[in-house]
Structure 1
Amino acid sequence: MTSSRVPGPELAWQLHAECPDPCVLFQAVRDEAGALLDFQWTALNPAAEALVHGLGLGPALSAWRGGLKGLPERGALGRLVDTGAPLSFEVQGRVDGAERWYRARVLRRGDGFSLWLSDITDVSVERRALREELEQERAARAREEHLRLALETAQMVTWEWSEARLTLVWSHNAEAFFGHPPGGPGDTMEGFLERVNPSERTRVAEAFLQGLCAEGPYTFQFRGPCADGTERCFEVVGQTFREEGRPTRMLGVVMDCTGRERAQAALREAEERYRLVSWATNDVVWDWNPSGEHIHWGESCLTVLGYASEEMGGISWWEQQLHPDDRELVLSSLGHVLQSGGESWAAEYRFRRKDGMYVHVLDRGLVTRDAQGRTLRMIGSMMDITERKRAVERMQEEAQFRERFIGILGHDLRNPLNAITLSARQLRRRGAMSPVQQQLAQRIETSAARMGNMISDILDLTRARLSGGIPLHLSPTSLPAVCRQVVEELTVAHPGREILVQAEGGGEGIWDPERLAQVVSNLVSNALEHGEREGPVFVRCRDEAERQVLEISNPGEPIPSHLLTTLFDPFRQVGAARSGRGSGLGLGLFIVRELVEAHGGQVTVRSTEHEGTTFTVVLPRDARGAARDVGGALPEEAHTG
């Protein structure tokens, strides 16, 4: 026993007898207050002395951490001394240049502990080798899984043929790929050929024989029937490997090219149809190789443009015939298609005829490219659309005239309508009228009010279409207050119907209160007319950051999906109202959208069987910026601070 402080004879004998493996006794090193500072060994048996010398360790345990990896922290060893609970762990160190692993056991001895070390290097090496073997096995399985997924994603299978076995080996997905029953495509060339279309078996067998002699990759196609009675097209890509000049092995893949073949056949059919159509029309057909100047022009150029085909020049001549105002845009779009790999091009522009007049043409072309994406050819047709353009312009002028007429008519109708309303109101105030007369006067006033709403809708439509937007008069507004006011008015007009208002947050913003009331009124009236008569209508307001959200929903049958895209268009109606009173003109939702967008907001709708129909309006907290954008009037800005 070697020790820096030699223990008693009994302890030395015990270390020799009980610790054939390296054993070290450590004593706690404490300060005057008894706080643990470190541990220092006090005794070593011969095996431990050789180990400490081999590792170059000092007496302090804190210095051992550089030579032995895996030692517990000082606090864990301090707890062992305090509690007596033993510790077990593994450490690693380099002894005489070789990595060694030890199983360490620590037991308390007085104000210290004994550290026993058992060499487990051989076991650790075996475990590490086993782990590496398992990792390699997992990596191989992962590669197999990746290959399986790649083959399934790419819609292909792999195959291998060897001269030694004279068999075909397919990847695991071959049965599903070929659509065959159990047994797949077979493990012999003869069995595989039975899966090939009978009319192609001889050709496919010859293709395999030619592949044996080929230098480098080779490819061929074949057709084969499937179990469901359909026929699919396959493409084989393979390569032959040789030893001493003799073919010994073939590897390859089979890809399903049925979709590609169908697409190519459809393209050929479309090209033939296009060629026949060009013969039957007066379109000017052209054919251009972008790498050169020349353009081949069809025979229709004389009829359409006044030029004989030999008078039509190349690409530079065509550029000069473009209208100066259109030239830059047309050339830019054509260049973008050619350089970006696009397949088609279309442009409308003005082209100069032989007589010097410009005609409007619609020019369309298809781009043909090689396997590297280089442009080989561009074929297209030029159609004279001058008369169509003129017809569209006339239609636009007529539409503008009609809208102006409607606007003027709606404005001038107000005067006689106001007279009718005032007269009916005066008659009702006379006490001498009979109940029947009172009812007739009430009906006149109600009908006049409805007609007034229609005129207001017509005027809003005219403003939206002709004036660039509906003007707003903005001021500080409470959306919940507007909703409650509208709901009170509608509740009087619809007795027995339940309209619930829910508000979350203050709902304050800079808006046009009259126009917001019009939005709420139109949406709630729409819900009352088209929702279930027994079901309630919900009006919800809530704050969201810098936005205000308004939702109006009702139960009932959903709006058909094909009507949702045009629901906010003018003169559109979903169907007959359940209340029997339609809006008449179908302008309510159109005006709602125009008013919301004039505020810089957005309105959307969702309608399902389970949730019913919900219109959602999202408004910015301050609509002044949006109103300026559409040219709206802001006479109330002085009151907004």
Structure 2
Amino acid sequence: MPSPAPPDFQLLFEKSPGSYLVLLPDADFTIVAVSDAYLKATLTTREDILGRGFFEVFPANPEDPRTISTRNVRVSLKRVLATRAPDTMPVQQYDIRRPESLGGGFDARYWSTTNLPVLSPEGEVRYLIHRTEDVTDFVRLSLRGEEELMDTDVLRRGQELLQASNKELRQAVRERDESLAMVAQARAEAERQRAWLHSLFMQAPTAITILRGSRYVVELANPLICRIWGRQQEQVLGKPLFDALPEVAGQGLEEHLTQVLTTGVPYVAREMPIRVARLEGGALEDVFFTFVYEPMRDSQGHVEGIIVAASDVTDLVRARQRTEALAAEEVRVAEERLRLAMAAMEMGTWDANLTTGELVWDERMRTLFGLPLEVRLDYDAVYSCVHPEDRERVIRSSREAVGPGGSGSVALEYRILPPEGGTQRWVSTQGQVYFDSSGRPTRFLGTGVDITARKALEAEMKARADFEQQLIGIVSHDLRNPLSAILLGTQALMGQESLSAHQLKSVVRIQSSAQRALRLVKDLLDFTQARLGGGLRMERRPLELARLIMQLVVEVEAAYPERTIEVYRVGDTRGEWDGDRIAQVVTNLMANALKYSPPDSRVRVEARGVDGWVFLEVHNTGTPIPPDKLPVLFQPMRRATNEVDKVGRSVGLGLYIVDHIARAHGGSVEVSSTEVAGTTFTVRLPRSPPAGGRPT
């Protein structure tokens, strides 16, 4: 049986027997609705009063200056706005203007009035209902006191009866008005919710449809699902799914829909391929969908339909398939390149199954160890080929790699003695252990390469370097005695007053050259001791760095009289160091700063004590050290520039020795150099020897 049409509430309101006005809660109390009974009682028409303010339509009687009727009505209306509660006014006179057709002017009328609020769901006043009843005749009858028509007792009983009737009528009207207002509000809210849900459904970023009944009739379908189907809404709404989309029948969707409809258990499909025709009459396409079938239940909990949310993931699947194909091709190419590279490098591979104990070596790996293809591989056969002096180390490292808490990798260089009596060779092997989910080692993969030629070259280069360093040490040591004799002789000659100015100048030049040569010899001896003698020897004594710097500045400024060296001291600069070695550090750094800075610039030297450390900083301006020189600046035979040192004839050992002296004290040296900030060498020294003796 079809549902009855909803009632016409506006018609019901206008034809109701009561006198009603509906006002807006604005400043003018604009009239928006009126009943026919009210129009008749006030001698007005609907066209004349709708959209106008209440007090514009019903002004005060200008012929009665003492009237307060308009003020009383306005106060009542404002009270309703403030309290959001009905307000019943006492009977009062409110004159009504007569139409011109009836002679104009005002009629004296008496009214019984009640004002009621209509609230929104949020509790705000949306409308005001002004209900009134014309009691003019009763009031006039009471005022005249016509005893011939009604004695006092009858009049009293009539008044009581009228008041009771009015009270009951007001209560009935109030309840009816409240019911009508609640019905109207509920209908409006339901309509708003329905419109909101429909809008949300149609604008959802996911394709959604609702299928109802066992034939899966399409009840709702938003634009995205229609786009996926390749259909317009009018082509699918109200039709069974497989009638609207006959091409998808027989592809397994029916079974899943039936299962959800009968069991009420949702179904989720991921990247399911389905053949659909996106254009009407077009060819079928393979499309991939990820979708959800969610059961839709009625008020009793019975499944009456299915909500479908779907996504077209065809582009994503195709992209992944292309990526996987490209990755497979890249893996194949990489494997081929690796095979070619290993062949070019003569590198062998090995694979140890740690579960079964099986060993698999390629031909190149067998050749390295001198094991023919016909020889069965096992660990004893492999380890027997390792040189006896290296065998224990190789076995221990391999066991540590695969053992509990091991590194999981191994990199070794060792000697091989082939079992057939071949030539000894050096091999380098690298391996990686692979573990299962429980942490148990399962495979041990690795490579091996012949490094015999490299080892021979390294041995040859080391022997040559040792010989060169020993030669430098011997030569430097043998040069010290004659140079010392030359310096003693020049000092003796300079003490003679018989020397002419030309002779004295020659002696000074000889002395300066001998001092420079002695410094070079001393650097060479320090270099030899650092490289071959186990490091520089240190004799620690209490020393104050700032005081030592002041003494050395005086000596350096004597050699550079045209230059200025600024000295700063911050905090306690005392510690235990080798005074001669620290003086060597300070002198080398100050000489470097003076050598590589503009002649008119100042060199800044600072000693700073911070907690258990003392810092020495030497700063100069000028051309910065090239960035490519910074990483190798403290290596031997390296200088800060590519230019030849024509003045000092430096061989590039000064900074190398500074670095070794700092590290021998347990400290370090760093350098920073930029165009803006200049160049700063920072030496960091601990106040006392490090624990455990001399650092390595």
Residues 429 and 283 of structure 1, relative CA distance in 2, 3 Å threshold: same
Task: Give yes or no for contact 1:282–1:304 (8 Å, CA) kept in 2.
Answer: no
d(CA) in 1 for partners of 2:572, 2:643: 34
Q: Is residue 2:375 matched to residue 1:311?
A: yes
CA contact (8 A) 1:403 1:462 kept: yes
Cα distance, 1:505–1:373 mapped onto 2, change above 3 Å: closer
SS at match of 2:420: coil
The answer on whether the counterparts of 1:529 and 1:578 sit within 8 Å (CA) in structure 2 is: no
Say which SS state the counterpart of residue 562 (structure 1) adopts.
coil
The residue type paired with residue 291 of structure 1 is: T
Correspondence for 1:509: 575
1:248 aligns with 2:305: no
The corresponding residue for 2:413 is 348
Q: Are residues 352 and 576 of structure 1, via their aligned partners in 2, closer, same or farther at CA, if it must alter by over 3 Å? A: closer
Residue aligning to 2:452: 386
**CA-to-aligned-CA distance 1:379-419 (integer Å, 9 cap, x gap):** 54321223322332232232222212211110001112122
**Residue of 662, 675, 678 corresponding to 1:596:** 662
Question: Does the 8 Å contact 2:272/2:290 carry over to 1?
Answer: no
Measure the CA separation in 2 of the matches of 1:210 and 1:451.
97
* CA positional deviation for 1:305: 2.6
Give the residue type in structure 1 aligned to 2:630.
Answer: L
Letter in 2 for 1:161: A
Whether 2:397 is the aligned partner of 1:330: answer yes
* Contact 1:297-1:312 at 8 Å conserved across structures: no
* Superposition CA RMSD, Å: 4.3
Unaligned runs of 5+ in 2: 1-121, 124-203, 211-220, 232-246, 257-266, 274-287, 296-302
Distance in 2 separating the partners of 1:480 and 1:260: 69
Distance 1:217 1:394 in 2: 70
Work out the CA distance in 2 between the residues paired with 1:579 and 1:395: 29
CA distance in 2, matches of 1:456, 1:263: 63
Offset at 1:433? 3.4
1:264 to partner: Cα distance: 7.0
CA deviation vs aligned residue, 1:495-526 (integer Å, no higher than 9, x gap): 22121000122412211111111100011111
1:493 alignment counterpart = 559
The TM-score normalised by the length of structure 2 is 0.53
Q: How does 1:13-28 map to 2 (within 5 A)?
A: none
Higher relative contact order, chain-length normalized (CA < 8 Å, sep 6+): 1
The farther-off stretch of 458-467 and 278-287 is 278-287
State the Cα deviation string for residues 179-215 of structure 1 (Å, max 9, x = none). xxxxxxx975889xxxxxxxxxxxxxx99x9897998
Secondary structure of 1:354's partner?
Answer: coil
> Aligned letter for 1:298?
D
Name which of 440, 465, 471 aligns with 1:399.
465
The alignment partner of 2:567 has SS state of strand
Taking the aligned partners of 2:418 and 2:637, their CA distance within structure 1 comes to 43
Deviation of 1:262 (Å): 7.7
Change (3 A) 1:339 1:424: closer
- What are the within-5 Å matches in structure 2 for residues 441-480 of structure 1? 441-480=507-546
Shift of 1:218: 4.2
Q: Deviations over 1:395-448 (max 9, x none)?
A: 223222221221111000111212222333334344343333322221111111
Offset, 1:350: 3.7
2: CA distance between counterparts of 1:189 and 1:381? 57
Residue type at the aligned position of 1:269: V
Cα gap change, 1:262 to 1:444, in 2 (>3 Å): farther
Distance in 1, matches of 2:205 and 2:356, equals: 46
Matches within 5 A, 1:507-546: 507-546=573-612
Inter-partner Cα distance in structure 1 for 2:524 and 2:691: 27
8 Å contact kept, 1:289–1:378: yes
Where in structure 1 are there 5+ consecutive unaligned residues?
A: 1-124, 127-157, 170-185, 192-205, 222-235, 632-641
Greater Rg over alpha carbons, structure? 2
2 CA distance for matches of 1:578 and 1:316?
61
SS of alignment partner, residue 623 of structure 1: coil
Per the alignment, residue 112 of structure 1 pairs with none
* Residue in structure 2 matched with residue 30 of structure 1 by the alignment: none
Q: Render the CA deviation track for 1:147-201: whole Å, top value 9, x for unaligned.
A: xxxxxxxxxxx984334546559xxxxxxxxxxxxxxxx975889xxxxxxxxxx
Paired residue for 1:141? none
Shift of 1:338: 11
Q: What is aligned with 2:208?
A: 162
Give the C-alpha shift of residue 321 in structure 1: 4.5
Question: Retained in 1: the 8 A contact 2:351–2:446?
Answer: yes
Match of 2:636 among 563, 566, 570: 570
CA displacement at 1:269 relative to structure 2: 3.4
Q: CA deviation at 1:492?
A: 1.3
Give the whole-Å Cα distance in 2 for the aligned partners of 1:338 and 1:475: 46
Alignment of 1:228-247 (within 5 A): 238=290, 240-241=292-293, 243=295
1:242 Cα offset (Å): 5.7
Q: Distance in 1 between matches of 2:353 and 2:269?
A: 32
For residues 497 and 351 of structure 1, do their structure 2 counterparts lie closer, same or farther at Cα, with a shift above 3 Å needed? same
TM-score, normalised with respect to structure 1:
0.57
- The equivalent of 2:356 in structure 1 is 292
Per-residue deviation, 1:366:
6.1
Q: Deviation at 1:332?
A: 3.7
Q: Which residue of 2 aligns with 1:97?
A: none
Q: What secondary structure, in the 3-state scheme, does the structure 1 residue paired with 2:632 have?
A: coil
Aligned position for 2:505:
439
Q: Is contact 1:576–1:582 with CA below 8 Å preserved after alignment?
A: no
Show the counterpart of 1:34.
Answer: none
Conservation of the 8 A alpha-carbon contact between 1:364 and 1:381: yes
Cα distance change, pair 599–267 in 1 and its aligned pair in 2 (3 A): farther
Kindly provide the CA deviation profile for residues 517-541 of structure 1, in whole angstroms up to 9, marking residues without a partner as x: 1100011111111223332111111
Amino acid at match of 2:308: T
CA-to-aligned-CA distance 1:347-403 (integer Å, 9 cap, x gap): 323444223676431113467889999987655432122332233223223222221
Name the SS of the counterpart of 1:539 in structure 2.
strand
SS in 2 for 1:501: strand
Helix, strand or coil for the counterpart of 1:309? coil
In structure 2, C-alpha distance between the alignment counterparts of 1:487 and 1:261, rounded to whole Å: 73
Q: Counterparts of 1:372 and 1:305 in 2: how far apart (Å)?
A: 34
Relative to structure 1, the CA distance from residue 391 to residue 431 in structure 2 (aligned partners, 3 Å threshold; closer, same or farther) is: same
SS in structure 2 of the partner of residue 300 of structure 1: helix
Indicate the SS of the match to 2:584: helix
Letter in 1 for 2:414: Y
The size of the alignment, in residue pairs, is 428
Judged with a 3 Å threshold, the aligned counterparts in structure 2 of structure 1 residues 568 and 304 are, in CA distance, closer, same or farther, namely: same
